[in-house]
Structure 1
């Protein structure tokens, strides 16, 4: 997926999803196209899929054209995002289909309804099961971070001692630096605390 700058949503859509999904890029399609069609006698049941199309454009796309793109696919709960440079973006739709490949086929047909997509180069398509998409969207986009006060509690030391950890050679690097101080990925700190040397002696310090 490309880095996005501006995101808009016309109505709530399925969130992100996956393990049994299919991804299609310039190199082709990969994924699991089985176990997504339920049959009861001669009746075939479809599933809801979240389909995200990434595209590049030779001309800059403004927010007005982005809204036009979403309005074109409003019936599919369209949401869209612009790339940081405005030369492309992504479109996400919710489709009902018997399998991931059927959803891909429907996207191929639907893209001809938009001038923007017809004039752009599609660089990737991701198909996700709707329920898995919901699960993904509930996951945090960024890792949980902690400061020295939290690190002190995790390591059972004073805050002053925790602040000195940053001088230790193998202590994790900060992921964010704010006016209030450095913040570290909690998982990385927990891993370091679980393996740090608790024996007597001074730990190796990082060179200034």
Structure 2
């Protein structure tokens, strides 16, 4: 069993950084270890955060990175910063940074993306035939690929806002 410590580059894709000031975003990133960087994916509105840490295995690196990211966001913002993907790359690995890992979201993340309540997301999922099908159903509920939700958002006609008008009889 190899228990040597390795340097890992952690990549976290935050589902949406809307509503955060540039100062808040920088504060969250700069609190992370090992040359943290931050970039925006303009096409998806996602925030990509990268930083280095030491761990003995890839899973340990991912677990530690997740805890650091969540802890810093909670301390700085007073809340967690929702993310949809996390991966680790070993230092010195010549393979390109994996950016195509499957990104999944549940009702809470979709609500943030669509700027509606979780109840509204559930209603959309249950009543709209053009709403994407879940890729799995977990104890916490159905999960969807982020790309399928973004495709839905691009086509969604959001004419109805708020409660429907009352019809008098």
**TM-score, length basis structure 1:** 0.39
Q: From the two aligned structures, give the one with the greater strand fraction.
A: 1
- Which structure's CA Rg is the greater one? 1
**TM-score, length basis structure 2:** 0.46
Q: Which has the higher contact order (CA 8 A, sep 6+)?
A: 1
